[in-house]
Amino acid sequence: MRRSVEGCSELKKLFALHICLIPDASPAASRLAVSQEVLSGGSVQAWSDYLSVRLHPKSVYVIRQYMHDGDCGCLEAFGQGESLLQDPSCIEELEDRLHFYVEECDYLQGFQVLCDLHNGFSGVGAKVTELLCDEYSGKGILTWGLTPVTSNGGDSQKNVYRVMNTALGIARLSSHSSLFCPLSLRGALGLKPQPPVTFPYINYDASLNYHSSAILAAALDALTAPYRLSSSQGSMMHLAETLTFGGRKVVAAWASLPFPALRGSSLPDTLRAYPQALPWKLLSPCGERKVGCCFAQSVVLRGIRKESHVSSCPGEPPTAPLHACESTEQTLQRYLHTLFPGAFSTSHVLEQPCHTLPPYPQFFSPLLTRQGFLLDKPPRYSSTAVESVPVLAALQSSPLLHTLLYGLYKDVQKLNTRRWASFFSAGVEQDDFQEALEELRTLSQCYEMGFEADESEDEADSD
C-alpha cells in the first residue's frame, strides 16, 4: 500500500499540503500504455499510470505490512490502519516528511487529506488527521472520504466491514478536521445497495475506478478553487468556517458535469431553464438525490465567459431579474439567493474550464461540442474529442446529511457485533466503537429540522 504526500504548490503566497492515502500500483498495471488504454477505452487499474510528474522520494511512504490486492493480508479493518500509526518509528518518519514540506512554505494554509473510508485506510486517515490537528493547531484540515461505487455485495463480511469502517471513519475524521466531505458516486453508504449516480451527458462505467475517479477529480478541482485562486481573499480555514458553524463539521458535495449550457447562450438564459433546482447531482451518498434547503454553501461555476451574463438580445430591456445583473458573479449570486433564500451562500465564477484531454476518459455524450457546450441536435460526425467542459460544483451544509449520518448510525446499530469479533481483534475496543457511534448520532442531530428532530426522538425511544 502507498501513502503519498504530494508537494505543495504556490498560490497567492499561500500553501497547502495534499496528503493522499492511496493503494500502491501493481507491477503489471504500471506497464500499461496509457495512450492506448485511453484511446481504446480499456480497463485501467492503476492511478500511477497517469502520473506525468515524478514524485519526490520524501512524498511517498510505502506500507509494507499489507498487500495491495488479494484474498489475504489486506488492510481491511479500521483498527489495522490505526495501529500502523501507533508505531513510534512510523510517526517519526511521517513527521519528518511533513516538516520537509512545511519548511518550504512561506505561509501554510493547511492540509488536504484524501483517504478511503471503506477499508483500513479509514483508520490511517483518522490517525493522520489527529496528528495534524495536534501539531498544526489553527491550520485548516479539509478531509475528503472516498468510497468506491461498486463493492462485492455477495461477501457479507466485506459489506459489514465497509459499513463499520465508514461509520468509525466519519466520526473520527470529522472530529479532527476543520471540514469533512464524503465523496462517492455510490448511491448510499449503508448496508442496502442503491444505484450509482447518473449524469445526463456522461456515459461512464460505474465498475471502473478510472471513470468514477475522473468525475470526482473534476468536481474536487472546482470545489477547492475558492482558496487556490490568486484573486480570492479566502483561505482553507475561511471556507471551513463559513460552512461548519453550529457543529456541522460534515458537508455534502454537488456537481453538474458538464454544466448544461447551450452553445452561445447567456448565463441568465441557462439558469432560467432551471427555476426550481440547479442541474447538479449529489456526490455525497446521502440516499436522496433531490435538492432541498441548505444552511450554507460554497458554489463554483467554471468555464463561463465573463460577458456571458449579457442577454442574447442586447439593447432590449431586461426580461427577468437575472438579465439585469451586471456580471456573471452577480447573476449566479442572485440565482442562489432565489433558490436558497435563508442560506449563507458564497459564489465564484471562473473563465477557465475543466480540461478533459487524455488521459481524461472520453465518456461524454455526442451532444457536446469540443468545449463541452450543448448542441441543439446530434452532429453528423462525432469523432472530435471533448477538450474541456464547464463545471458547476458546490459544498453544502444541508439537512440531507442527517439522512446520511443517522441512516449509517442505524445500520451499524442493527449489527450483532459479536458476530464480527475479527473486526475488533484488529485493535478497536467495543467501548470506543460505541462512543464513535454516539458521536455519529450527535453529529446527525446538528442537521435536523424541527419535524425531523421529533421523529428521531420517537425512534430513539422505541429502540
pLDDT digits (tens, 9 = 90+) for 269-319: 999 999 888 899 999 998 766 777 899 999 999 999 877 666 555 555 556
Residue 153 pLDDT: 58
The closest of 442, 447, 446 to 409, measured between CA atoms, is: 442
How many alpha carbons lie under 13 Å from residue 393 in its C-beta half-sphere? 27
Report the range out of 74-88, 158-172, 443-457 with the highest average pLDDT. Answer: 158-172
Query: How far apart, in whole angstroms, are the C-alpha atoms of residue 96 and residue 107?
Result: 19
Residue 79 pLDDT: 93
What is the mean predicted confidence (pLDDT) over 403-424? Answer: 92
Residue 60 pLDDT: 82
3-state secondary structure of 237: helix
User: Quick count: other Cβ atoms within 10 Å of Cβ 12?
Assistant: 16
Is residue 216 scored above 70 in pLDDT? yes
Query: What is the DSSP-derived secondary structure letter of residue 47?
Result: G
Locate 190 and state its grid cell: 449503508
How does strand 2-6 pair with strand 15-22? antiparallel
By the 8 A CB rule, do 327 and 308 touch? no
User: What pairs with residue 296 in β-bridges?
Assistant: 344, 397
Superfamily of domain 2-25+53-240: Tubulin/FtsZ, GTPase domain (3.40.50.1440)
Of 86-90, 370-374, 432-436, minimum mean pLDDT range: 86-90
Query: How far apart, in whole angstroms, are the C-alpha atoms of residue 220 and residue 253?
Result: 9
Residue 26 pLDDT: 37
All residues at 6 or more sequence positions from 51 whose CB lies less than 8 Å from its CB, including other chains: none
Q: Which residue has the higher pLDDT, 372 or 13?
A: 372
Residue 40 pLDDT: 46
The closest of 93, 94, 96 to 113, measured between CA atoms, is: 94
Residue 51 pLDDT: 66
Alpha-carbon radius of gyration of the chain = 22
Of 192-196, 215-219, 295-299, 397-401, minimum mean pLDDT range: 192-196
Query: How far apart, in whole angstroms, are the C-alpha atoms of residue 203 and residue 386?
Result: 13
Query: How far apart, in whole angstroms, are the C-alpha atoms of residue 333 and residue 348?
Result: 9
Query: How far apart, in whole angstroms, are the C-alpha atoms of residue 282 and residue 255?
Result: 7
pLDDT band for position 164 (cuts 50, 70, 90):
very high
Query: How far apart, in whole angstroms, are the C-alpha atoms of residue 300 and residue 310?
Result: 19
- The 10s digit of each residue's pLDDT in 99-144 is 999 998 888 899 999 999 999 999 999 999 999 999 998 899 999 9
Strands (E), 8-130: 15-22, 60-62, 108-116
3-state secondary structure of 99: helix
pLDDT band for position 33 (cuts 50, 70, 90):
very low
pLDDT band for position 172 (cuts 50, 70, 90):
very high
pLDDT band for position 47 (cuts 50, 70, 90):
low
Tell me the domain boundaries of the chain: 2-25+53-240, 247-400, 402-462
Query: How far apart, in whole angstroms, are the C-alpha atoms of residue 39 and residue 284?
Result: 30
Q: Which residue has the higher pLDDT, 318 or 229?
A: 229
Alpha helices in 199-310 (DSSP H): 209-223, 236-243, 267-272
Strands (E), 28-183: 60-62, 108-116, 140-146, 179-183
Is residue 30 scored above 50 in pLDDT? no
User: What pairs with residue 253 in β-bridges?
Assistant: 395
DSSP 317-328: PPSSGGGG-SSH
Q: Is residue 134 within a helix (H) or strand (E), and if so which, with residue range?
A: helix 121-135
Is residue 42 scored above 70 in pLDDT? no
Mean pLDDT of the chain: 83
Q: Is residue 17 within a helix (H) or strand (E), and if so which, with residue range?
A: strand 15-22
Residue 133 dihedral angles phi and psi, to the nearest 5°: -65, -40
Residue 39 pLDDT: 42
Amino acid present at 215: I
Q: Is residue 430 within a helix (H) or strand (E), and if so which, with residue range?
A: helix 430-445
By the 8 A CB rule, do 43 and 208 touch? yes
pLDDT band for position 236 (cuts 50, 70, 90):
very high
